[in-house]
Chains A and B, each alone.
Chain A
């Protein structure tokens, strides 16, 4: 799931090298932390948060398949 978020984030931003994704695994839930270059923040959040919301929806489909809840945190 981490790879999926990393792929999407890198494809959306101007500075793919600045994309960092870490996964903190818990027993039932894992937290995926995403950080990008400051000037790319708007690109992964999107208008009215639409891009971030789409990313979370896709992530929840992936976590349904994996039987594990995943939460996406965008680090500012």
Chain B
């Protein structure tokens, strides 16, 4: 069920929707659909915004999140690392963050332990909830660090491909890592990137384009 309202401000639109549906704002999820200035100058008060609201599926969301947190805590306990888990759910996705001892044991080489834990929590939550939920597990800001490291690697190897004129093969990577590399180089007209191989891990080839 979706409801849309146009009003002069976001605040006003939210209020109107709540009144109309007879619901409190905590029970709804809001999204600004469009903001259009009225008239040429777009002074305050002349603006119109359109807000869309839908009821939150709170119960289910929290159940999934709480279970995911519990599963992750249980796995970490089994590995025997002192850690705390924080979690949030956003747009149906579950994000869990491990506040650990900083040893990196839960990350592993190229994040493979963290990925295994993430995959396992996702599988177990999916099994219990009867539907697939996207679960992301992070610790010590690893996901973001890995992303910037890959972007740097992609640019460096892109430059190398250009200066040597030779094809560069990167190490086998998982789909998420490959996506970062492809996206980093997608607007570079002098190189082309291609994934090759079978299965979960594939290598990326960075191919210099011949000029002309």
> Residues on A close to B: CB < 8 A?
1, 3-4, 7-8, 11-12, 46, 48, 50-51, 53-55, 57-58, 60-62, 64-66
Contact = CB atoms under 8 A, between A and B. Distances in A.
A7 B119 CA distance: 15
Interface string B87-129: 0000000000000000001101000110111011001100110
Contacts of B124: 8, 11-12
A4 B72 CA distance: 11
B153 interface: no
Interface residues of B, number: 23
Contact of A61 (B106, B123, B127, B200): B106
Contact of A50 (B71, B79, B112, B119): B119
A54 B119 CA distance: 7
Contact of A4 (B79, B116, B128, B200): B79
A1 B78 contact: yes
B105 A12 contact: no
B183 interface: no
26 contacts: A1-B78, A4-B79, A7-B75, A8-B75, A8-B124, A11-B71, A11-B124, A12-B123, A12-B124, A12-B127, A48-B200, A50-B119, A50-B200, A51-B119, A53-B116, A54-B116, A54-B120, A55-B116, A58-B75, A61-B105, A61-B106, A61-B108, A61-B113, A64-B105, A65-B79, A65-B105
Nearest to A11: B124
Interface string B191-209: 0000000011000000000
Contacts of A51: 119-120, 123
Contacts of A53: 116
B3 interface: no
Nearest to A5: B78
Given A51-B123, A53-B116, A61-B113, A7 B78 contact: yes
